[in-house]
Chains A and B, each alone.
Chain A
Amino acid sequence: MKLLTCPVNGTRPLSEFVFGGEIRNMPDPAQASDSAWAAYVYNRTGAPGLKKEWWYHSPSGTWFVAERNTLTDQVARTYLYGQEDKA
């Protein structure tokens, strides 16, 4: 069974978690050009590597950040958003 560590609830089975995609910075909708906005809406960093991702622990309703290598599927660390320093 694969496991993932929720920063609030500790290590739990992966089946309790939902993947929320890579963390991405939204451009200012008022300033961005149409093509920059379309690129933000659709394009993704598809190549493998260490990525910061949103994950959701569904029984407790906790959203948090996981740093995961998408090639090896190894999670380097997890922490609540904005609490990177404490991780």
Chain B
Amino acid sequence: MPLRLLKYALSRKHPAPRFFRDCTEPKKSYDAVIIGGGGHGLAAAYYLAKDHGITNVAVLEKGYIGGGNTGRNTTIVRSNYLTPEGVNFYDASVKIYEGLSEELDINLFYSTRGHFTLAHTESALRTMRWRAEVNKHVGVDSYVVGPDEISKACPQLDISCSGKAPIVGALYHGPGSIARHDAVAWGYARGADSMGVEIFQNTEVTGLDIQSGKIKGVHTSRGYIATNKVLSAVAGFTPRITNMAGVDTPIVIHPLQACVSEPMKPWLNTILVSGSLHVYVSQSSRGELVMGSSLDPYEVHSTRSSLDFVEGLTSHMLDMFPFLSNVKIVRQWAGMADMTPDFSPIMGTTPVEGFYLDAGWGTWGFKATPISGKTMAATMANDQAPELIKPFRLSRFEDYDLTGEKGAASVGH
């Protein structure tokens, strides 16, 4: 790297390094088309090329890559879920994340901080014990800790929460991490592009060509593209795409908001979550506090954020950290979360042959980016979902075989 930097400094042109080709003219047909150039879609393209040798692939992105929920989440990676199916799945994701900076040759600022889910009541603590036991059973590092250990890890935290909701314990999860989310999308984009995948930005899908139950192609703002395999990885836009395919799903869209404070010197070493106070917070490598709360209470297909959200979140933040009263909020935003009734994703095949769904990522999508890309690529290559994601199949609803995941973020339990 230093040699490359020196060479760059001495060159006269200083060309801006491009991560991927600027594709604008799609071919007439591809072996596979991926709708959605977020982390999930790009990861699927990357693993299609790398694991399965399928490189004649187009990724179609309506806006710019990583501009949707990939760039709007609060970047937490963890696997301390409640169901064994969920824990296994997210643990596989954490394991890929740990080596991903090297694999993609890009600094993801992947930082393992330890993750505390705070309990303010005995009943919350009971859920923490339940999650800890499921995690241990599956081999994931989680255990219940008391207030003393929380204070040791985060001395700035007011354990009594201003006397309103004293903390009685927490679920501690060692592998809990944060990462630079846009770098994940860019890294996968560069990796996929280098193996031949074509990425089309500003390219909207306007219709799906389905004949006798099989996918034949997609209509786009850049013309018709013929293909036998289409993956929808569009998060909050999923119902619009599944409508085009005539596939019914339980997905409902609710906005999820987040915000960041002005940058400070590093003081918060861990990731803290309080389900009761509706707060999750970590400090980014830039020094900003990255904060989120809970889902907006009703369906809206919009990324507008609200003053109510900041007011509610910061009042709870001040209960936990009274000394932050003079710190300013500098940015806030929202993403469209595609919620499912059991808080698990919907992944795999659909009633339409060749149409695959990677959806229902609600408030838990970023942490699953690598493993969902890998498993969806396998699903597309083999026309069959791997064992790991079978509990998340669309047909589970019809079979009344749900995967009730109450360990999801921003969800009351």
> What residues of chain A have their CB less than 8 Å away from a CB belonging to chain B?
1-2, 15, 18-19, 34-35, 38-39, 41-48, 70-73
Do B397 and A44 touch (CB < 8 A)?
no
Cα of A71 to Cα of B138 in the assembled complex, Å: 42
- B233-276 CB contact bits vs A (8 Å, 1 = yes)? 00000111011000011111100000000000000000000000
Q: Is B302 an interface residue (CB 8 A)?
A: yes
- Tell which of A34, A44, A71, A72 touches B250, judged by Cβ atoms closer than 8 Å: A44
The reply to whether B248 and A19 contact each other, CB–CB distance below 8 Å, is no
Q: How far is the CA of A71 from the CA of B336 in the complex (A)?
A: 11
Return A35 CB to nearest CB of chain B, in Å. 6
B393 nearest CB across to chain A (Å): 13
- 17 inter-chain pairs at a CB distance below 8 angstroms, sorted by A residue, are A1-B308, A38-B398, A42-B341, A42-B398, A43-B249, A43-B250, A45-B239, A46-B242, A46-B243, A46-B250, A46-B251, A47-B243, A48-B239, A70-B253, A70-B299, A70-B300, A71-B300
- Inter-chain CA distance A57–B231, complex, in Å, is 42
CB <8 Å contact, A42 and B250: yes
Task: State the B residues within 8 Å of A (CB).
Answer: 238-240, 242-243, 248-253, 297-302, 304, 306, 308, 338, 341, 397-400
Residues of B contacting A18 with CB < 8 Å? Answer: 297
**B185: shortest Cβ distance to chain A, in Å?**
24
Q: Is A73 in contact with B251, judged by CB distance below 8 angstroms?
A: no
A35-B398, A38-B397 given; A46·B249 CB < 8 A: yes
- Determine which of B251, B301, B306 lies in contact with A70 in the assembled complex, contact meaning CB atoms within 8 Å: B301
Name which residue of chain B comes closest to A55, CB basis. Answer: B298
Q: Which residue of B lies closest to A19 (CB)?
A: B298
CB distance from A62 to the nearest CB of B (A): 17
CA distance A48 to B240 in the complex (A): 8
Please give, as numbers and ranges, the residues of chain A lying within 8 Å of B302 by CB-CB distance: 71-73
Residue on B nearest A15 in the bound complex, by CB: B308
Excluding A42-B250, A43-B249, A73-B304, 16 further A-B contacts by CB distance (< 8 Å) are: A2-B308, A19-B297, A19-B298, A34-B398, A39-B398, A41-B397, A43-B250, A43-B397, A44-B251, A46-B242, A46-B243, A46-B252, A48-B239, A48-B301, A70-B301, A71-B302
A35 to B239, CA, bound (A): 20
The interface residues of chain A lying within 8 Å CB-to-CB of B243 are 46-47
Find out whether the CB atom of B300 lies under 8 angstroms from the CB atom of A73: yes
Instruction: Name the B residues within 8 Å of A2 (CB-CB).
Output: 306, 308
- In the complex, A70→B253 CA distance in Å? 9
Alpha-carbon distance A18/B297, docked complex (angstroms): 8
